[in-house]
Chain A
Amino acid sequence: MATIHVDGRDYEVDGADNLLHACLSLGLDIPYFCWHPAMGSVGACRQCAVKQYKDADDHQGMLVMSCMAPVQDDAYISIEDDEAKAFRANVIEWLMINHPHDCPVCEEGGHCHLQDMTVMTGHDSRRYRFRKRTHQNQDLGPFIGHEMNRCITCYRCVRFYNDYAGGGDLGAFGAHDNVYFGRFQEGTLESPFSGNLTEVCPTGVFTDQTHSEHYTRKWDLQFAPSVCHQCAVGCNISPGERYGDIRRIENRYHGEVNHYFLCDRGRFGYGYVNREDRPRVPEWRERQRVDAGAGAAGVVGGTISLEIDDALDRAADGLRNARRVIGIGSPRASLESNHMLRTLVGDANFSTGIGARELELLVRMNELNTRSGLPSPSLREIERCDAVLVLGEDLINSAARMALAIRQAVNAKGEALAAERGIPSWNAEAVKTLAQEAHHPFFLATLDATELDALAEQTYHAAPDDIARLGFAVAHYIDPEAPCPEALDDATTGLAQRIAEALLAAQRPLVVSGGSLGTPAVLEAAGNVACALARRTRPGALSLVRREANSTGLSLLGGQSLDWALECLTSGEADGVVILENDLYARVDAGQADAALQRANCIVTLDHQRTATWDRADVGLPAASFAESDGTLISLEGRAQRFYQVFDPSYIRPETRIRESWRWLNALKASVERQAVTPLTLDEVTWDVAETYPALAPAGDAGLSAAYRVHGLRLAREPHRYSGRTAMRANLDVSEPRAPQDPDTPFAFSMEGYAGYAEPRREVAFAWAPGWNSPQAWNKFQDEVGGHLRAGDPGVRLLGPLPGDYDYARTLPPRFVARDAQWLAVPQARLFGGDETSARAEPIQARMAETRFTVSRGTAERLRMSPGAPLTLHLGERRLTLPVAVSEAWPDGVIGVPDQSGLSLAAPEWAHLERQEVSA
């Protein structure tokens, strides 16, 4: 700690910080541009100048850039000094020389850091009277808009994109007052983290193009704290709504999970909420049994829209008439909704909606996380690990935000080296210079080459069983008691020994694996490594990747597999089914789903998307998406987090009958039981979940109860400048209805309520503080800039390690041997298109690469195929034809089948391949 004297007041600060970091953390305002809490200092913009004095008697002082000035004990500083103030105003004046002053038509306006800083410095009249320099803009793809004239050349974009996120196609070109930030030629930005440019850029150069399509000022958006539903990482998001549509998704700061950054799937994948074809009223599909000719689906018939009561009655009738009703839950729905389904159908009739193979892996992951001795880390904890082994996960595709965290962990070697030479970790360029290509030990075993390969000390591209064998060998070389695979070749043995040494030498080794390959052996291998490390009394972490937003939650909640449910229906054991937010056709092959649904006498489905399953239901109940509902999810870290309803869908669309699934299910249960519906609140369901499932008990505290108040006030969903509330519905009805009431959360559908930062709170709908309209306002909510929210970061962790010995897995797979006429088909995760809901969003569709099989060069040559040629894969009765992609890294004898490609593959299976002749 150090004491600094700022404008006559004394403060205790961390002596390892720079002055800017220290002062901002104290709540003092110093304007800045090039500095970013996650990216350190580079001293480029000169905006954060303050006066520093030698001692108490020095009245002259000199200007220093606070971001580049280390905190010194007993330092005398002035932010308010006239010379410093004048210089800071001048810096703004220079930055504005070529800036177009187009705030009224600029999408950044209203949440613009440049606007905020301009106001903060007091610069208000320009003296520059000459021509401005102008630039041409580029088409950077479906996500990011580009308007270079607004650029103030702070270099944050390239520092984030290249240095932080490892991108390679955004650069700084030119020199002097003609620096251009763009691509060497027009084209889609390649990085899966490009969306962060919209928040990293302090002005309107890089803007969210999906937002442009239906633009709304920040102050006119209604927000709620939410959690991304597009994968299992659990990034916190702040979706903004206007006129019943989600207009954009901004990062919501979480000190342990996503910090300041999201992946592009999460940021730009919200379009499914706004789809025109979403079911918004209950539907009844008339059944006309047709003779089972031509193998067609068993029903045809008209669809009619229903009112709520009618829909509930018909659904209840159908379910009452069934001999046995089962429920199929969903890993993309909340704990609350799944729980209500389970309550409706009974424990014995509840399926998690997850395939048997995947469910087995998920349950095993929970066991490993609690019983291997190594805890499941948050992303921030991952960033502090100093040796990493990844077994089987292509993280950019299966958990992109985690890949970004691992990049920081591996690159942190530079900070360690810098510390040895007395260079502070915040001195970003100096750390980078010293680090060069130095990385913490990082080993990556995957099928294909991945974007993280460049950081790895060594990569290992092999078939799933061989990846597992490498992992088992590593465990063995850490602890000889762990079994060693037989017939290991010398190269693999050498690699395993190197990895074992690196993990043992580390202070905080990290093991990452997961379910993407559908191979239990890979998971067991990771478990053995974790256990071996734990036995050697090493602190460390074991991170296991799950696929969907609530995969962890469903596996903890428990229930039968989807395979069981389908078998129940197909065999006729059950003839009624309630399907919750789950498209069976996205999980199993169409034939399997058809066979099950065909025999059901009553199918009730709840979803917010018009899926193939929805189209097969007798009664469809329009469910709320994440944006219109509240609930709890459990991330792959084991963190239970609450997402809050952003808007009431019926306010702008009164005809809408969308309800939260858990509300529908409560009403349906009452209808089935011929009871009057008792109103239910979220808190009641959440508490019920916590009481019912011991493993989920802490999840009851994941969010704020509806009774929470700050100074007796609810929390506001709308900024206090929110405009037009009384006019928004004027085209529907001149009398303004009462603002929607929210019985479930402490948030109000209104600008009335607490929205400040002075009172610490965990759940922040939107970051705003006086003078801070941009996302940089998060500074004001943190214990120190870039640290944790002052009230603690949202969520509670469920997967703490339990004490006790964990036994090694002792069933080790033999070496993978390629077959003559068969190939091992292996599932392949993909960022864009691999997730059911975001794949329904247009901008994501624009980024979805052509769906292809992946084979090795050797396979392609054996089949005499060149890239792009069509290939048919046969799995028993099932078949799929796709073009092939040829990868140099890919192992022989294996073929990659991308997720959501039309053929569902839960685990590796042997397949036949058939080359398709291309007709000339």
Chain B
Amino acid sequence: MSRILQDRDERRPETHPLTFRLNDDGTPVMLDDYREQQGYASVERAFRDLSSKTLIEELKTANLRGRGGGGFSAGLKWSLTMQGEGIPRGYIVCNADEMEPGTFKDRLLLEQQPHLLIEGMILAGFANNAYQGYIFMRGEYVDAARTVQRALDEARAAGWLGRDVAGSGWDFDIALHTGAGRYICGEETALINSLEGKRANPRAKPPFPGQSGAWGKPTVVNNVETLCNVPSVVLHGADWYQGLSQGKSGDGGTKLYGVSGKVKRPGLWELPMGTTGNELLERAGGMRDGHTLKTWLPGGGSTGFLLPEHLELALDFDTIGKAGSRLGTGLIAVVADDQSVVSLARNLEEFFSRESCGWCTPCRDGLPWSVKLLQALEAGEGERGDIDLLESLAVDLGPGRTFCAHAPGAAMPLASAIHYFRDEFERGVTRGQGAAHADPIPVGSV
């Protein structure tokens, strides 16, 4: 079970829209409790006061950016969904396939507050003229699946889902789909393929899912946390939502931040967007005794390594981007001084290599090569030129050269690890290039 490490006293409705309802003991907030605490009030407001257009405008102004790691404006995404005459009603898909290494934030929301997600999806359905929602959930999230299914049943029984939602005359339902365990299913178009029962290969964009998504219909794919932010935007308005970040960031709202690694109190906190790394590390109680911080990943395995000096930066999409990494999921992984960066890079690349769908060449065949090179370096069997080769691979696995963002995500920690810790890699080089072939093959000795 994921736990929020803030007491109920601290989590106020006006400052912690994502977590204020959570029970301290971690038991899920089900429908009755949820209703008592403003639950589904945003849906009532939307039906009463908003149109698809005004809702999307509100969301754009709120500057809610995608919490799955991409940071794309949710309002902008929704405004690009095709609607209108001749366009079939489509789908809202919740990306709950949380498999980013070091990330456990969506799990908290799914396990403890499923109705917030359902509420967000109803709003998304309303805004995007969808008739069906799907929650695509990581297969290992067994408890979450059970809780979400219970909540869906409750919501349907109470009239929040199904025909004529809350007397609005509008139909919308949600189904839960649990995945079979591929990291690439977190990529929205691969997720759609998997949902359709096909190989989980990403699709070419354009066309974007908003044009032609699941089963060729307009489809909006949003992360769990993103959708969970929507009800408070609709209920309290864009200005209020913008204010939640307390001027720490240009982005609006709060963020579920987390820390893992050798810290005293690893866990999750809902904090204003733009909270600094130092504040977050402080929340986690600092490094465990006897350890100092060597480096850290700001938001999952597919983000670039940063140095301790970067901890003073605001953890938001633009600031971390400028520092050469990505905010990603905002759950930082700290690396202590006794941990090998080469091993860490090897471990990450092994993961990404295994999870490559096999569609495009650089990712399919380049990543496994990087793993073999890293294994050689780790074993002290590296050859001169291996590090240059890794660097060139990292470039070729970069954006625009591969079919989707999987390989660029894999390249980021690799490139940054070499950039900041080249000496560690060089220690693994023990042979000249082609040393294995340097000995002349005996000729005519037979």
Contact = CB atoms under 8 A, between A and B. Distances in A.
B357 A176 contact: yes
A94 to B, nearest CB: 4
Interface in A427-476: 427, 429-430, 433-436, 438
Interface in B328-379: 353-362, 364-369, 372, 376
A496 to B, nearest CB: 29
Given A44-B403, A177-B364, A423 B396 contact: no
A155 B359 CA distance: 8
A30 to B, nearest CB: 15
A208 to B, nearest CB: 26
A430 to B, nearest CB: 5
A97 B353 CA distance: 15
Interface in A81-105: 87, 90-91, 94-95, 97-98
Interface in B8-59: none
Given A63-B401, A97-B369, A435-B216, A44 B359 contact: yes
Contact of A429 (B204, B372, B400): B204
Interface residues of B, number: 40
Interface stretch (B205-213, B285-293, B304-312): B205-213
B402 interface: yes
Contacts of B368: 97, 176-177
A129 interface: yes
Given A94-B369, A430-B203, A430-B204, A177 B216 contact: no
Contacts of A152: 361
A62 B361 contact: no
A821 interface: no
Given A43-B204, A47-B361, A174-B358, A130 B400 contact: no
A42 interface: yes
Interface in B196-238: 199, 203-204, 206-207, 211-212, 215-216
A45 interface: yes
Contacts of B392: 90
Contacts of A45: 360-361
B401 A49 contact: yes
Given A94-B365, A176-B353, A421-B207, A43 B396 contact: no
B358 A429 contact: no
Contact of B372 (A130, A153, A172, A174): A130
A179 interface: yes
Contacts of A436: 215-216
B396 A90 contact: yes
Contacts of A97: 365, 368-369
Given A49-B401, A63-B400, A172-B199, A433 B216 contact: yes
Given A46-B401, A436-B216, A177 B358 contact: yes
A127 interface: yes
Contacts of B215: 436
Nearest to B214: A433
B82 interface: yes
B180 to A, nearest CB: 11
Contacts of A179: 358, 364
Contacts of A91: 361-362
Interface string A181-213: 000000000000000000000000000000000
Given A91-B361, A127-B389, A176-B364, A421 B82 contact: yes
A87 B359 contact: no
B203 A176 contact: no
A176 B360 contact: no
B401 to A, nearest CB: 6
B403 to A, nearest CB: 6
Nearest to B392: A90
B94 to A, nearest CB: 20
Nearest to A430: B207
A175 B356 contact: yes
B60 to A, nearest CB: 23
Nearest to B209: A433
A90 B360 CA distance: 13
A111 to B, nearest CB: 23
Contact of B360 (A43, A129, A417): A43
B121 to A, nearest CB: 23
Contacts of B441: none
Contacts of B359: 44, 155
A44 B212 contact: no
A46 B358 contact: no
B206 A176 contact: no
B369 A176 contact: no
A87 B353 contact: no
A39 interface: no
B3 interface: no
A430 B202 CA distance: 11
A427 B361 contact: no
B438 interface: no
B77 interface: no
Contacts of A435: 216
A68 interface: yes
A421 B212 contact: yes
Nearest to A176: B356
A90 B211 CA distance: 34
A633 B345 CA distance: 67
B436 interface: yes
Contact of A175 (B357, B365, B403, B436): B357
Interface in A651-697: none
Interface in A17-73: 42-47, 49, 62-64, 68
A62 B403 CA distance: 15
B182 interface: yes
A757 to B, nearest CB: 29
A87 B357 contact: no
- Which interface residue of A62, A64, A130, A417 has the most chain B CB atoms within 10 A? A130
A46 B402 contact: yes
Given A97-B369, A128-B369, A421-B82, A64 B400 contact: yes
A62 B369 CA distance: 25
A429 B401 contact: no
Contacts of B360: 43-46
Contacts of B365: 94-95, 97-98, 153, 177
Nearest to B363: A176
Contact of B401 (A87, A98, A155, A177): A87
Contacts of A127: 385, 389
Contacts of A47: 361
A43 B361 CA distance: 10
Interface in A536-595: none
Contacts of B355: 175-176
Contacts of A423: 206-207, 211-212
A46 B362 contact: yes
Contacts of B203: 429-430, 433
A94 B366 contact: yes
Contact of A42 (B182, B204, B357, B369): B204
Interface in A773-800: none
Nearest to A177: B368
A153 B436 CA distance: 30
A178 interface: yes
16 contacts: A43-B403, A45-B361, A62-B400, A63-B400, A87-B396, A94-B365, A152-B361, A153-B361, A155-B359, A172-B199, A176-B353, A176-B364, A176-B368, A421-B211, A430-B203, A430-B212
Given A421-B212, A423-B212, 19 more contacts: A42-B204, A46-B360, A46-B361, A46-B362, A46-B401, A46-B402, A90-B362, A91-B361, A94-B364, A94-B365, A129-B383, A176-B356, A176-B357, A177-B353, A177-B358, A177-B367, A179-B358, A427-B204, A433-B212
A-B residue pairs, 7 tightest by C-beta: A94-B365, A179-B358, A176-B356, A434-B216, A130-B372, A434-B212, A436-B216
Interface of A: 42-47, 49, 62-64, 68, 87, 90-91, 94-95, 97-98, 127-130, 152-153, 155, 172, 174-179, 417, 420-423, 427, 429-430, 433-436, 438
